[in-house]
Amino acid sequence: SQTIHQWPATLVQPVGSPLSLECTVEGTSNPNLYWYRQAAGRGLQLLFYSVGIGQISSEVPQNLSASRPQDRQFILSSKKLLLSDSGFYLCAWSGAGGSYNEQFFGPGTRLTVL
Amino acid sequence: DQQVKQNSPSLSVQEGRISILNCDYTNSMFDYFLWYKKYPAEGPTFLISISSIKDKNEDGRFTVFLNKSAKHLSLHIVPSQPGDSAVYFCAASGSGGSNYKLTFGKGTLLTVNP
């Protein structure tokens, strides 16, 4: 069966510091991968998606970036965090073993920028 | 421009009764619809989906109805249980292309009272 991992689970960072959140998927190959953010009281906003290694599409202009160095690894980064980057970050996958229409989410990372 | 709308931020239902969660969409290119359930500080869990070629899909206590002419879908939970208390997100995708991006509504908080 497929599993998706995210770490860390929680993170408190000062404004201006860098960020690296990691997501890995097990039990599938060639998944589509996605990064979402849920801000307080808001819905899920798609930030980035990837259909293959090195292929990243950005949905929302911001100071975040994403990379996919391996087939089942997706990384969300920032060089300098802003207060507005606080939120709940979710990684998701879709594809082989499921359906490309159905996305399966990881446990999330709670990021607080102070 | 919100393409997927969940106009009820919250819903309260008695245990054993029916819960009906509603969702409207504006993009006629959407052809696949999903419902997710989310507990606080966890990733969303996929519940049930429906393709635009159907008007009903049932899985245990959960049934999703799709009215394409009205661009409306609903999730029925019968009978409702206290463990169903969570935020429910409606999502939609158009399967054209390779990204299968999901557009989410803002969610409805369901509270099932014992």
pLDDT tens digit string along B13-66? Answer: 999 999 999 999 999 989 999 999 999 889 999 999 999 999 999 999 999 999
Q: What is the pLDDT of residue B106?
A: 92
Confidence of residue B95 (pLDDT cuts 50, 70, 90): low
Q: What is the pLDDT of residue B96?
A: 59
Strand partners, B27: none
Whether residue A88 and residue B101 make contact (CB cut-off 8 A), yes or no, is: no
Q: What percent of chain B has pLDDT over 90?
A: 84
Q: What is the pLDDT of residue A109?
A: 96
Q: What is the pLDDT of residue A35?
A: 96
- Dihedral sign, CA of B14, B16, B17, B22? positive
Give the type of residue at A93.
Answer: W
Q: How far is A41 from chain B (nearest CA, A)?
A: 8
Q: Considering only CB atoms, which chain B residues are within 8 Å of A40?
A: none
Confidence of residue A98 (pLDDT cuts 50, 70, 90): low
Give the type of residue at B78.
Answer: V
Task: Give mean pLDDT, residues A68-95.
Answer: 95
Task: Give mean pLDDT, residues A72-99.
Answer: 90
Task: Give mean pLDDT, residues B94-111.
Answer: 82
Whether residue B44 and residue A49 make contact (CB cut-off 8 A), yes or no, is: no
A51 touches chain B (CB under 8 A): yes
Q: Considering only CB atoms, which chain B residues are within 8 Å of A49?
A: 99, 101
> pLDDT tens digits for A19-40?
999 999 999 888 999 999 997 7
Strand partners, B49: B34
CB A13 within 8 A of CB A81: yes
CB B78 within 8 A of CB B61: yes
Distance CA B88, CA B36 (A): 6
Task: Count Cα neighbours of A93 within 13 Å in the Cβ-side half-sphere.
Answer: 26
Q: What is the pLDDT of residue A70?
A: 95
CB A4 within 8 A of CB A23: yes
Q: Considering only CB atoms, which chain A residues are within 8 Å of B42?
A: 107-108
Confidence of residue B94 (pLDDT cuts 50, 70, 90): confident
Average pLDDT of every residue of chain B: 93
Confidence of residue B68 (pLDDT cuts 50, 70, 90): very high
Q: What is the pLDDT of residue B55?
A: 96
Q: How far is B7 from chain A (nearest CA, A)?
A: 12
Average pLDDT of every residue of chain A: 91
